């Protein structure tokens, strides 16, 4: 199996994001592998452990994104590819074209994993556009994968506790989400060993692409003010509840 | 006059109320002709509800051949054909699980821009606003081109009625699919419960709820409130609730009018999924719990005392 795993290098969700006007942010925060992409990577590791093969981690990002590739190599990915760009917020169609070009240049995928969404720009569409570029079928929000007979049987959550079971022929793009598996974490010796693994770097320009060739543009980023603290409703449970109900009616929330 | 399309979401053939906010956004100052597209259910039946909000025509989409319900690709290709046929310049829909999937397929197939999970949209300027960094910031995004798609977070836009007289039509697409992807089964029972992401009111239980059975306390209260019931990851991981109920960064993102958190510490990851709620109420036994610093109203007390009391009061006051 030749599996490609698309990973985005994103600020840790616990990080305090400070906007730098008009549309940037203070990037000196901790960056990690996009949490949903970890589920894709873990699934790839489990598949390769059974069926054999190679896992190539691919990211489109700044030079610093190499650290996320190293994390993937430390848990067992074979090689890494960085497509270098200067932008953290790239148009999804451009990202998909960059991923496609990097993958096509590298090999022939049997399976491609992504996450269901990136937690910074929350685009929720890169896997669909990547699949279109590669002329492959795609399913996202995948919580179960079973391979066999040249196809994948996958399950996706559709809300309200319902699940859809789908059959999809290989090669395909699968967007992982929580529930698919429990991602492993790298151990120190493996982190050291991962430093020796191969990471290939390509420039966006060398793939014939430019950062600003997309159809969407982020023009402004605004901080959402934190709430400043609760108005406490005093008294017995009964009294506090009565106060709450009165307020909620007043505010037309109920 | 621009012609704006709405992807009308249905539940068992019925148009969901969650669409009305989307229609309101599409109508704008009344300058837009609003065309509703139905992938499931009849246009005649759907018309009555949506024309109250200003939809001027309702179109039922079908495919000439193939298993329409079982093929997400066929649905997307048929919808893409319909957008071209009716010369739609903007398609708005709900950023629900169904809506996201279909709109992303259409945008990819047509190679047109799409922004999902928007909290605001101005069709004539082709700009939208949406959360970045799990609700820590709001991004304003411009979309270029003759056609764009936009998925709107349920509840983000207040529905305002504005009656119109709608015509109906059936569009039968000649589109096909690749045959490489099919839905073979739908699992799980429709519980009749309100879908979390579409609920106006949500009441959530955290780790101290301590068992699956204890969620009944929240369910009774939810019944009085017309609310959906959510859970924190700690409660889900402990097996007290299914993952489908989880709110937060690795669960559902919700923006109800009212969010009542019972026994939640107020973690960043939980807030990532609900901080855009209009009013947040916290019930917690610890006066120093972080949640009290980032909600609107707080009740210091045991959820096992406060929630039943709240249910009582709601019941009495109807
Ligand atoms: C990558 C990542 C992703 C995550 N994603 C999510 C996510 O999607 N959703 C999510 O919720 N979490 C998520 N978490 C976990 C999150 O960090 C917290 O651990 C979790 O939200 C805590 O759940 P809790 O508030 O229910 O429990 P706790 O943190 O244990 O808090 C319980 C609170 O209840 C109070 N309490 C105790 N007894 C009572 C009582 N009888 N009545 C009233 N109050 C009482 C306590 O004072 C305390 O404040 C994620 C974490 C990571 C690292
Ligand atoms: N810059 C990127 N590099 C690698 N993979 C990416 C990148 N952006 C998005 N992806 C993949 O696409 C998924 C969905 O991203 P998005 O469409 O931005 O929400 C992510 O979970 C990643 O797997």
Establish whether residue B230 lines the binding site of ligand 1, counting it when its CB lies within 6 angstroms of any ligand atom. no
Q: Do A214 and B268 touch (CB under 8 A)?
A: no
CA-CA distance, A216 to B115, in Å (whole number)? Answer: 8
Give the pLDDT score at A183.
96
Please provide the average confidence, as pLDDT, over all residues in chain B. 94
Residues of A in contact with B258 (CB under 8 A): 248, 253-254
CA-CA distance, B120 to B255, in Å (whole number)? Answer: 13
Residues 6+ apart with CB under 8 A from A76: A45, A48, A55, A190
Please provide the average confidence, as pLDDT, over all residues in chain A. 95
Quote the percentage of chain B above a pLDDT of 90.
85
Give the pLDDT score at B198.
85
The closest residue, in CA terms, to atom 48 on ligand 1 is B265
Could you tell me the two tokens for A214?
């997309």
Establish whether residue B284 lines the binding site of ligand 1, counting it when its CB lies within 6 angstroms of any ligand atom. yes
Helix/strand/coil (H/E/C) assignment for every residue in chain B: CCEEEEEECEECCEECCCHHHHHHHHHCCCCCEEEEEECCCCHHHHHHHHHCCCCCEEEEEEECCCCCCCCHHHHHHHHHHHHHHCCCCEEEEECCHHHHHHHHHHHHHHCCCEEEEEEEEECCCCEEEEEECCCCEEEEEEECCCCEEEEECCCCCCCCCCCCCCEEEEEEECCCCCCCEEEEEEECCCCCCCCHHHCCEEEEECHHHCCCCCHHHHHHHHHHHCCEEEECHHHHHCCCCCHHHEECCCCECCCCCEEEEECCCCCHHHHCCCCCCCEEEEEECCCCCHHHHCCCEEEECCHHHHHHHHHHHHHHHC
The interface pTM score, or ipTM, of the predicted complex is 0.92
Mean pLDDT for the stretch of residues B24-34: 85
Kindly compute the dihedral angle of the four CA atoms of residues A241, A243, A247, A248, in this order, to the nearest 10 degrees.
10
Quote the percentage of chain B above a pLDDT of 70.
98
Could you tell me the two tokens for A203?
């420039």
pLDDT, tens digit, 9 for 90 and up, residues A201-221: 999 999 999 988 899 999 999
pTM, two decimal places: 0.91
Interface contact B131, partner A, CB < 8 A: yes
φ/ψ of B199, rounded to 5, equals -75, 145
Cross-strand pairs, B92: B6, B150
Could you tell me the two tokens for A50?
């059974």
Residue of B nearest to A224 (CA): B137
Q: Band of the pLDDT at A14, cuts 50, 70, 90?
A: confident
| Burial class (CB within 10 angstroms; exposed 0-12, middle 13-18, buried 19+) of B158 | exposed
CA-CA distance, B281 to B31, in Å (whole number)? Answer: 39
Q: Band of the pLDDT at B189, cuts 50, 70, 90?
A: low
Q: Band of the pLDDT at B190, cuts 50, 70, 90?
A: low
pLDDT, tens digit, 9 for 90 and up, residues A132-173: 999 999 999 999 999 999 999 999 988 767 899 999 999 999
- Smallest Cβ–Cβ distance between B134 and the set A119, A220, A241 belongs to A119
């Amino acid at each position: 199996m030749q599996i490609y795993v698309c990973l985005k290098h994103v600020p840790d969700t616990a990080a305090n994001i400070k906007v730098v006007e008009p549309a940037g942010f203070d990037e000196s925060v901790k960056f990690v592998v996009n949490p949903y992409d970890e589920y894709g990577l873990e699934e790839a590791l489990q598949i390769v452990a059974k069926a054999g093969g190679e896992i190539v981690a691919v990211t489109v990002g700044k030079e610093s994104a190499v650290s996320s590739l190293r994390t993937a190599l430390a848990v067992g990915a074979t090689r890494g590819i960085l497509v270098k760009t200067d932008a953290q917020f790239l148009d999804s169609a451009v990202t998909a074209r960059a991923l496609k070009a990097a993958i096509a240049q590298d090999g022939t995928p049997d399976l491609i994993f992504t996450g269901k969404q990136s937690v910074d720009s929350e685009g929720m569409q890169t896997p669909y556009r990547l699949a279109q570029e590669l002329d492959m079928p795609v399913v996202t929000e995948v919580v179960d994968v079973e391979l066999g007979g040249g196809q994948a049987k996958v399950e996706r959550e559709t809300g309200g506790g319902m699940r859809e079971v789908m059959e999809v022929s290989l090669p395909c793009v699968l967007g992982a989400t929580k529930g698919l598996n429990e991602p492993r974490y790298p151990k120190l010796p493996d982190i050291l060993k991962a430093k020796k693994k191969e990471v290939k770097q390509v420039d966006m320009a060398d793939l014939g692409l430019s950062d600003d060739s997309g159809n969407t543009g982020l023009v402004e980023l605004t901080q959402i003010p934190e709430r400043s603290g609760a108005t406490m409703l005093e008294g017995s449970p009964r009294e506090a509840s009565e106060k709450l109900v009165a307020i909620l009616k007043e505010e037309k929330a109920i | 006059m621009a012609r704006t399309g709405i992807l009308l979401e249905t539940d068992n053939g019925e148009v969901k109320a969650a669409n009305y906010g989307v229609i309101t956004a599409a109508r704008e100052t009344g300058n837009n002709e609003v065309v509703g597209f139905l992938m499931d259910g009849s246009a005649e039946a759907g018309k009555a509800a949506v024309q109250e909000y200003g939809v001027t025509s309702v179109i039922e989409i079908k495919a000439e051949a193939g298993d329409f319900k079982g093929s997400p690709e066929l649905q997307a290709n048929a919808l893409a054909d319909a957008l071209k046929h009716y010369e739609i310049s903007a398609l708005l829909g709900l950023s629900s699980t169904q809506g996201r999937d279909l709109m992303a397929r259409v945008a990819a197939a047509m190679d047109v821009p799409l922004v999902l999970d928007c909290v605001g949209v101005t069709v004539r300027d082709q700009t939208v606003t949406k959360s970045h960094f799990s609700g820590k910031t709001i991004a304003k995004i411009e979309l270029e081109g003759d056609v764009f798609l936009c998925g709107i977070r349920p509840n983000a836009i207040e529905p305002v009625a504005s009656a119109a007289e709608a015509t109906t039509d059936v569009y039968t697409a000649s589109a096909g699919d690749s045959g490489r992807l099919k839905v073979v089964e739908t699992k799980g029972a429709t519980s009749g419960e309100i879908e979390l992401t579409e609920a106006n009111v949500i009441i959530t239980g955290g780790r101290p709820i301590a068992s699956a059975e204890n969620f009944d306390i929240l369910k009774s209260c939810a019944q009085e409130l017309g609310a959906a019931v959510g859970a924190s990851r700690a409660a889900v991981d402990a097996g007290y609730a299914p993952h489908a109920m989880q709110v937060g960064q690795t669960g559902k993102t919700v923006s109800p009018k009212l969010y009542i958190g019972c026994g939640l510490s107020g973690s960043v990851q939980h807030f990532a999924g609900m901080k855009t709620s209009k009013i947040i109420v916290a019930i917690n036994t610890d006066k120093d719990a972080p949640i009290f610093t980032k909600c609107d109203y707080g009740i210091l007390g045991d959820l096992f005392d406060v929630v039943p009391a709240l249910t009582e009061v709601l019941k009495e006051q109807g």
